[in-house]
Chain A
Amino acid sequence: MRRRLAPYLLLAPSLAGIGLLLVWPALQVAERSFQNYGLPQVLGSEPATWAGFSNFTSILADPEFWLSLRISLIFAAVAVPLTLIAGTLVGLLLHRLGRKMAAFVSTAALLAWATPAVAASVVFVWMFSPDGGIVDWLLGEVPGLGGPARWSGYNWTTVSALPAYTVLTLIVVWQGFPFIAVSVLAGLKMMPSELAEAARVDGAGPWRVFRSVRYPILKPIFLVLLLLSIIWDFGVFTQAYLVTGQLGNRNEYNLGIYAYDKAFTMPPSYGLGSALALVLTVILLVITAGYVRSSVRQGALE
């Protein structure tokens, strides 16, 4: 009897914590997205009333929602492949390097990974700053790009979405490629080196070796990395919040910032914010379902 109860007792504290602070609020978000929930409800002066689908219909009618959704989608579509390609190339490079060189490069990469998102964002904003930032100066010095007159004082971050998300892409790739590189390297290490060797002897070039020998073995790892990268980049908040000027530049909102702004900017509309958060969550959970499936297939839950 004790033996049968033991696992449940051991799980109880974690279940309480996760249930109360992760699962329950997720359910609350779902509930509030169908309610009118603003300042009066928070203060208790009026009860929350059911709103049916009105939060969702007003979101769908809001052009800002479609803009933010488009920004999130395009950003993920650009940043995810770039991170995966950069990470894979560095992973392949690490595999071929000598021990000392590999340690040097992977230390550099992991330092980028360990840099707090807030610090990384602030540094990139400074590098791309219109007042004394190094990038504007550098672009002005490169012949054929229009010279200093074109680039001096160029505002990357707070005027329009394209340059701001270019900076954001650089931050996300910079912080994201080390994880991909280390995972790809781990996959390569598990692979017998004779396979690639044999292919090379048979006259296969580097691309052919990767495509026909390495990629098939790395495929399950790539699938997980792809799904994780989509989840992270689609939901990116901290870096986007800082690069786009800490709320206010509405033409640069992605879905996460838009939801945050709807919920917290005065007058707060927690119902609308919840509805947006639910949309974001459902999109991410659909991708997560793929992640869970491939984890189960690879036996990660054994």
Chain B
Amino acid sequence: MNRQKVVLNAAAIVVAVVTLLPIFFMLSTSLKPAGEIFSLTPRLLPSHPTWSNYGAVISGSAAGRPYWDFLRNSLAVTVIAVVASSLIAMLASIAVARFRFRFRTAYLIMLLIVQMLPQQALVIALYLDFRAVNMLDSLAGLTILYTAFALPVTIFMLRNFVAAVPRQLEEAAAIDGASPPRVFWHVLLPLVAPGMVTTSVFAFISTWNEFVFALAFLGTDQSKYTLPVYVTYFFGQHSASWGPIMAASTLFTIPVMIFFLIVQRRLRDGMIAGAVKG
């Protein structure tokens, strides 16, 4: 029995180490001076760790503009899209979880299907539509798009949280004379709030990481780039500066990881509740 435990734990450590290896590699390269990166016998750890790669990325001397510009773009687009889609999804979830109406099943099936539409297909049509209304090179345009993209998954997950709130609570408040908006604000919303946090993690991650549309929509104006496009551009233009590229990738990844570590427990539950794209 004990031997089996040793084997299992050894397997666990191997799995964890192999899984963490690429992340470790990103961090370690980002801290290496250029000379060490191209040494003939690569080492796992930097022998003379340096922040200079981060300095070059943050100041913008590595590629065009300071990192903050791209961080600001990504944050603005992501936060607004997540908040907007959570609110819209909340309304839809109440409809689906609290009412029986015609087309209810049809609506849910529609959500499942649109979730699976390949982005490379939609991007062609939406590129032309956004071009026609002059919103191609615009962060506002991307934000609207991301809000809509986050809706299907968010609604699908959020409706379970709404359905889990006992109906009697709302009915009791209504009997006491509370109007529907009051019931929503004071009864339903506080109880569903934790569920909204969970679903918004998924919306946050998929929006923060979104690449295809940002790539197609944001043209040559670097000041509009979100972080995925910036890292890609940097990688394409200066493919040999691995130190700064890894520093930029790390700075791009860290916000997701922090966000994720805070809500890790809920995240695991949420992943089970709804199938979500990685």
Residue numbers of A with Cβ under 8 A of B are: 4, 6-8, 10-11, 13-15, 17-18, 20-26, 28-29, 32, 42, 90, 93, 96-98, 101-102, 104-120, 122-127, 129, 131-134, 137, 174-176, 178-179, 182-183, 186, 224, 228, 231-232, 235, 237-238, 241-242, 246, 256-257, 259-260, 263-264, 270, 273-274, 277-278, 280-281, 284-285, 287-288, 291-292, 295-296, 301
Contact = CB atoms under 8 A, between A and B. Distances in A.
Interface stretch (B20-28, B50-58, B65-73, B189-197): B20-28
B12 to A, nearest CB: 5
A90 B15 contact: yes
A176 B278 contact: yes
Given A118-B211, A137-B42, A126 B151 contact: no
A22 B122 contact: yes
Given A11-B95, A101-B12, A115-B23, A259 B89 contact: no
Given A7-B104, A90-B15, A107-B264, 20 more contacts: A10-B99, A14-B92, A17-B151, A23-B110, A23-B114, A93-B12, A108-B19, A114-B257, A116-B253, A117-B278, A126-B29, A127-B25, A132-B38, A176-B278, A179-B276, A224-B275, A256-B120, A259-B124, A280-B120, A281-B121
B41 to A, nearest CB: 7
Interface in B103-157: 104-105, 107-114, 116-129, 131, 144-145, 147-149, 151-152, 155
B129 A122 contact: no
Contacts of B11: 93
Interface in B229-271: 231-232, 235-236, 240, 242, 245-246, 249-250, 252-253, 256-257, 260-261, 264, 267-268, 271
A259 B19 contact: no
Given A110-B268, A292-B109, A32 B246 contact: no
A119 B231 contact: yes
Contact of A22 (B98, B149, B211): B149
Contact of B211 (A4, A113, A238): A238
26 contacts: A10-B91, A11-B95, A14-B88, A18-B110, A25-B126, A29-B121, A29-B125, A93-B8, A107-B264, A108-B19, A111-B20, A117-B211, A122-B231, A123-B22, A126-B25, A134-B25, A174-B19, A179-B278, A182-B271, A183-B271, A238-B212, A277-B124, A280-B118, A281-B121, A291-B116, A292-B112
A256 B249 contact: no
A192 B226 CA distance: 47
B2 interface: no
Given A22-B117, A288-B116, A126 B242 contact: yes
A68 B144 CA distance: 32
Given A116-B228, A137-B41, A17 B129 contact: no
**What size tier do the contact residues of chain B reach?**
35 or more
A42 B131 contact: yes
Interface of B: 8-9, 11-12, 15-16, 19-20, 22-23, 25-26, 29, 37-42, 88-89, 91-92, 94-96, 98-99, 101, 104-105, 107-114, 116-129, 131, 144-145, 147-149, 151-152, 155, 205, 208-209, 211-212, 215-216, 227-228, 231-232, 235-236, 240, 242, 245-246, 249-250, 252-253, 256-257, 260-261, 264, 267-268, 271-272, 275-278
Nearest to B89: A14
Given A17-B148, A132-B38, A264-B216, A179 B271 contact: yes
A50 B129 CA distance: 19
B117 A26 contact: yes
Contacts of B250: 119
A6 B99 contact: yes
A183 B12 CA distance: 18
Contacts of A102: 12
A256 B118 contact: yes
A119 B116 contact: no
Nearest to A101: B12
Contact of A111 (B110, B124, B152, B257): B257
